[in-house]
Amino acid sequence: METVWITGASSGIGEACALRWAAEGAKLVLTSHEPEKLVEVAAQCRAAGAPEVLVRPYDFRNPEGLEALAEEAWAAAGRIDILYLNAGISQRTTVEDTPPQMNRLILEVNFFAPTTLARVIAAKMVAAGGGKIAVTTSIAGRFGFPLRCAYSASKHALYGWFETLSAEYYAKGLRVTFICPGRVRTNISVNSLDKGGVPHGVMDPGQAGGITPEKAARIIIRGIRRSRREVPVGSKELIMLPIKRFFPGLAARLSRRIKPM
């Protein structure tokens, strides 16, 4: 029986993955900054077949307690076979309208929090014989995108940090998978920070036409099980990934033309 810890588990991709893993009989640890929604998801996971669901709410804007959270989650679960670092926050502001404090907040949630948890859990996985760590990046982690300066920076940073983690621990049984979503029908655009740091409140049209979280979950879990290095998740927008790789100048021109909302 696998034990899976999912962050950002109260909605969207995290919730869909939790329910799918539950139906497959996994033991779950669920974390989110929304305690009430997390309890609801946990109840659904138990009904779906999860033999045990542990709820560990946490606000990733608070860095001080992250190491303790990781230690406690591991101890409570007994061990963690798969850590899926999915929690994150986005924005809808230009560079000029993104103050330093917003940059720091987004980096705190999207980069410093997952790397802190991974640092603790990776060492424990290696000591226990191995394990898998997956992290949600984004196609915005592969190229710059309008109105996403801090978000894109945080996702670029995840690639550098977790590629290093993989290089250092691969021979010791640790497998790292990058989950790279394009457009998935979640509330990330609704909850994105707008000018003044308030929620954007609107789902982007492109995202509204994206694949469902349930379809995304099937792709993600299959990729993690197969220990794939990177798992693109989405539809036609994923063509930007090979364009960026082989034709970076064209990718830059296209990114300037894409409607950011």
pLDDT tens digits along 18-47: 999 999 999 999 999 999 999 999 999 999
What was the pLDDT predicted at 185?
93
For the cut 80, the answer to whether the pLDDT of residue 261 exceeds it is no
SS3 state at 21: helix
For the cut 70, the answer to whether the pLDDT of residue 180 exceeds it is yes
What was the pLDDT predicted at 260?
67
> What secondary structure letter does DSSP report for 110?
I
Which residues contact residue 261 at a Cβ distance below 8 angstroms, ignoring those fewer than 6 apart? 92, 147, 189, 202, 204, 205
Range of the domain at 250: 3-257
Identify the H or E element spanning 232.
strand 230-233
- 4 with 16: CB under 8 angstroms? no
For the cut 70, the answer to whether the pLDDT of residue 56 exceeds it is yes
For the cut 60, the answer to whether the pLDDT of residue 55 exceeds it is yes
Number of independent structural domains in the chain: 1
CATH code of the domain in which 152 resides: 3.40.50.720
Helices and strands counted in the chain (H then E)? 10, 7
Q: How far apart are CA 16 and CA 228, in angstroms?
A: 20
Any idea which residues carry the catalytic annotation?
A: 151
Mean pLDDT of the residues in the chain: 95
Span 9-20, pLDDT tens digits? 999 999 999 999
* Residues in the chain, total: 261
What was the pLDDT predicted at 160?
98
